[in-house]
Amino acid sequence: MKFTRRDTILIAAGATATAMLPMRAFAAGEDEIAAFTGGASIGDSGVTLTAPEIAENGNTVPIEVNAPGAVSIMVLALGNPNPGVCTFNFGPLAGAQSGSTRIRLSKTQTVTAIAKMADGSFAQASSEVKVTIGGCGG
Amino acid sequence: MTKTVLKGAIAAVVVLAGAQAALAGDGGLVINGELEMITEAPAADHLKGSLTTVYSGWVFRDVDTQAMQMDDFDNPGMLYVDQGEGMWNAPAGTSEKSCADCHGDASESMAGVRTVYPKWNEAAGEVRTLQMQINACRTENQGADAFKYGKDEINAMEAFISMQSRGMPMNVAIDGPAAATWEQGKEMYYARTGQLELSCANCHEDNYDNYIRADHLSQGQTNGFPVYRLKDTKLTSAAGRFVGCVRDTRAETYKIDSAEFVALELYVASRGNGLSVEGVSIRN
Amino acid sequence: MAENVTPRVRVPRSAAAGEVITIKTLISHIMESGQRKDGDGNLIPRSIINRFTCDFNGQNVIDVTLEPAISTNPYFEFQAAVPEAGTYNFTWFDDDGSVYTDTKDIAIG
């Protein structure tokens, strides 16, 4: 088949559009982050996420988040079937903008915490947690 | 096989535990800042030539898991202890009597009980596990249905009774009428079975403190049972764990209430003689 | 434990005015994620605690939105300021509409 220049450009445009699709579909947590930040830029300091490097068991993983001066902190598990984990919203009588809990991780993945600060800015911290299979699978 | 690796592992745990859990003290298991557990003890005489020191499974878990057990509030297994306490006080069966009606205050009547089970029951002519004895009481004395093994109720009952001996060293009898059952359990412990030709000893005696895949192998002691497993987020009994462990080594496993596992439970308990009953422990 | 949803909270009995205290909460709940399948291969529907709040004398301390990735027997630890004596009110909201509560008083001293 002989391609005209027109054909080549259309095919290239189609290929580019197709190439872009998987990237949008696989960006885990993107929707949740966009809803939380409204598209604002996210800084990388101001929030800490404490999680084990290797989870003793993926079903019960202890984590802690801390963001002095934050209004709320959203936690996502980017490798889970659904990324949402929890969102801490701090009220006027919160003694500190921190919280600890226990979460489920379905496999080795990045856990991320995004803090919304009182001045409307955002900060993010991430942690890679390894989730392993037990010795004999049990 | 020398176990010098373990000292390093415990030292590392002590360093990390000190940083994260202020209650760790000298690095051992101290519950609620005051109850000191014996997690390391000289091995019983019958283990001569096999083990010199016995360690609780707590020692082999990571810092966060260890910390979870150091505070009764943080320990989700305590939810089951509460459930067991409720059952202790609730009338049951045709007798309409609760455990308390005969046994009174559990903290008195059940103190030390967990440390001597499994044990020989003269009237019944058999070795009984604590759960078997609970069910015997239920059916014979309360006129109630036996609890199903492997379910929450019986595990919660055992958890509550176990709590009344928390801290006390395990001390099951291996001689006298229990001797034959103990020998049977010992034979099972060392017998290679299944597709992988593994015995309990291959992992828990020859390779404790080593890793199998990503699992830090313990000595497989039962002083911490019933256990709140992070994996299941509920209690598992010793026999329940045996069912899974034997199956996972690709051998034909036995029923949870089988005579084989009663014998094995007696033998395994005796390997941990000297270690503290931990009430309800937390493991992976 | 799915039927017996029991909350527990740990709050110090007293604190100095203005002190920051640590509060721990635990509630027995299976937190059915909606990912598990039953014996016949059917998905077990999601049924979780989806929100937890703590208020003190009418003011909010913390308000947490929970997703299925929170482990069975949800556990939370957080910090609370104690301006005066009063009562902490804890509330857990279940997908099925149930609401579980617990309260703890605190004195100043």
Greater pLDDT, B275 or B19: B275
Boundary-marking domain end, from B110, B138, B163: B163
Q: What integer is the mean pLDDT of B20-40?
A: 74
- Please report the number of interchain residue pairs, chain A to chain B, with beta-carbon separation below 8 angstroms: 52
Residue B221 · residue B229 · CB < 8 Å: no
Sorted by sequence, the CB contacts under 8 Å of residue C81 that are 6+ apart come out as A93, A94, A95, C18, C19, C20, C61
Residue B143 lies in a domain: yes
Quickly state the pLDDT bin for C80 (edges 50, 70, 90): very high
B64 and B194 housed in the same domain: yes
CB B233 within 8 A of CB A59: yes
- B16 belongs to a structural domain: yes
Tell me the angle at which helices B259-271 and B179-190 cross, rounded to the nearest 10 degrees: 90
B245 is catalytic: yes
Q: Are residues B62 and B113 in the same domain?
A: no
| Residues B119 and B193 placed together within one structural domain of the fold | no
Spatial contact of B272 and B170, defined as CB atoms under 8 Å apart = yes
Tokens 């939105």 belong to residue: C65
- Which amino acid is located at B229 in the chain? R
User: Cβ contact (<8 Å) for C79 and A81?
Assistant: no
Is B207 a domain residue?
yes
Q: B271 lies in a domain?
A: yes
DSSP B56: -
Distance from CA of B92 to the nearest CA of C (A): 18
Query: Do B13 and B68 have their domain in common?
Result: yes
pLDDT per position as a tens digit, B74-83? 999 999 999 9
**pLDDT score for B70:** 97
Residue B147 and residue B28 share a domain: no
A:112-131 residues touching chain B, CB 8 A cutoff: 130
Given CB atoms, is A103 within the 8 Å cutoff of chain C?
yes
CB B40 within 8 A of CB B281: no
Q: Is residue B42 part of a domain?
A: yes
Q: What is the pLDDT of residues A33-67, one digit of tens each?
A: 999 999 999 999 999 999 999 998 999 999 999 99
Report chain B's mean pLDDT, rounded to a whole number.
91
Q: State which of B163, B192, B212 marks the end of a domain.
A: B163
Structure tokens at B266: 């007696």
Is the domain of B194 the same as that of B95?
no
Structure tokens at B182: 């103990």
Q: What is the pLDDT of residues B154-211, one digit of tens each?
A: 999 999 999 999 999 999 999 999 999 999 999 999 999 999 999 999 999 999 999 9
Measured at the alpha carbon of residue B192, what is the angle toward residues B186 and B193, in degrees to the nearest 5? 110
Q: Scanning the structure block, which residue is given the tokens 């489920």? A: A104
User: Cβ A52–B214 below 8 Å, yes or no?
Assistant: no
Residue B69 sits in the same domain as residue B184: yes
B158, B237 Cβ separation under 8 angstroms:
yes
Q: What is the pLDDT of residue A17?
A: 52
Closest CA to C25 of C95, C94, C72, C78: C78
Q: Check B232 against A136: CB less than 8 A apart.
A: no
Give the separation between CA C100 and CA C27, rounded to whole angstroms: 9
pLDDT in tens, C33-55: 999 999 999 999 999 999 999 99
Binary contact (B214, A60; C-beta < 8 A): no
* Numbered residues of chain C with Cβ closer than 8 Å to any chain A Cβ: 20-21, 33, 35, 55-56, 59-72, 74-83
Q: Would you say residue B170 lies in a domain? A: no
Residues of B with CB under 8 A from a CB of A: 61-62, 64-65, 68, 203, 211-215, 217, 229-233, 244-245, 247-249, 284
CA distance B251 to B229: 22
Across-strand partners of C8? C26
> Which residue, of B115, B131, B163, is where some domain finishes?
B163
Task: Give the pLDDT band of residue A5 (cuts 50, 70, 90).
Answer: confident
Whether B4 has a pLDDT exceeding 50, the answer reads no
- The pLDDT tens digits for C82-96 are 999 999 999 999 999
Mean pLDDT is lowest, of A109-123, B19-33, C86-100, for B19-33
What's the half-sphere exposure (Cβ side, CA atoms, 13 Å) at B37? 32
Contact at 8 Å (CB) between B160 and B148? no
pLDDT band of B12, cuts 50, 70, 90: very low
The answer to whether A88 contacts chain C (CB < 8 Å) is yes
Q: Are residues B68 and B82 in the same domain?
A: no
Say yes or no for a CB contact (<8 Å) between C76 and A100: yes
β pairing state of C99-108 and A122-131? unpaired
- State the count of interchain CB pairs (< 8 A) between A and C: 99
Residue A101 identity = T
Which pair of tokens denotes residue C50?
């989806």
Answer yes or no: is B168 within a domain. no
Query: Which of A92, B187, A67 has the alpha carbon at shortest distance from C60?
Result: A92
Residue C79 pLDDT greater than 90, yes or no? yes
Do residues B49 and B89 both lie within one domain?
Answer: no
Residues B87, B70 within the same domain: no
- Mean pLDDT lowest among A10-24, A70-84, C1-15: A10-24
Q: How much is the pLDDT for A132?
A: 86
User: Mind listing the pLDDT tens digit for each residue in B90-143?
Assistant: 999 999 999 999 999 999 999 999 999 999 999 999 999 999 999 999 999 999
Residue A20 token pair: 């872009």
What pLDDT does residue B214 have? 82
pLDDT of residue A25: 46
Q: Strands, E, within chain C: which ranges?
A: 7-10, 14-15, 19-27, 49-56, 59-66, 75-82, 86-94, 99-108
Band the pLDDT of B233: cuts 50, 70, 90: very high
Contact B73 C10 (CB under 8 A): yes
For residue A1, pLDDT over 90 is answered with no
**Which helix (H) or strand (E) segment is A9 a member of?**
helix A5-25
- Rounded Cα distance between A30 and A53, Å, is 24
Residue B109 resides in a domain? yes
Phi, psi of C67 (to 5 degrees): -110, 170
Tell me the CATH number at B235. 1.10.760.10
Per the CB < 8 A criterion, the answer to whether B122 and B212 are in contact is no
Q: Cα–Cα distances in Å, from C42 out to A80, B178, C33, C39, C89?
A: 20, 47, 13, 7, 38
Same structural domain, B206 and B270: yes
For B23, which DSSP code? Answer: G
Distance CA B40, CA C13 (A): 36
User: What does the alpha-carbon distance between residue B59 and residue B65 come to, in Å, rounded to a whole number?
Assistant: 10
Distance from CA of A44 to the nearest CA of C (A): 23
Residues 70-109 in B contacting C (C-alpha not used; CB under 8 Å): 73-74, 76, 79-80, 82-83
Domain count, chain B: 2
- Cα–Cα distance between C62 and C17 in angstroms, integer? 19
Give yes or no for a contact between B211 and B264, defined as CB atoms under 8 angstroms apart. Answer: no
How long, in residues, is chain B? 284
The chain A residue lying nearest C54, using CA atoms, is A91
Minimal Cβ distance to A85: which of C61, C69, C81:
C69
Give chains near A: 3+ CB pairs under 8 A: B, C
Say yes or no: A36 contacts chain C, CB-CB below 8 A. no
Q: Looking at the structure, do residues B120 and B140 belong to the same domain, yes or no? A: yes
Instruction: Choose, from B99, B102, B203, B245, the residue flagged as catalytic.
Output: B245
Domain that holds residue B34: 3-74+175-283
Q: Which amino acid makes up residue B109? A: S
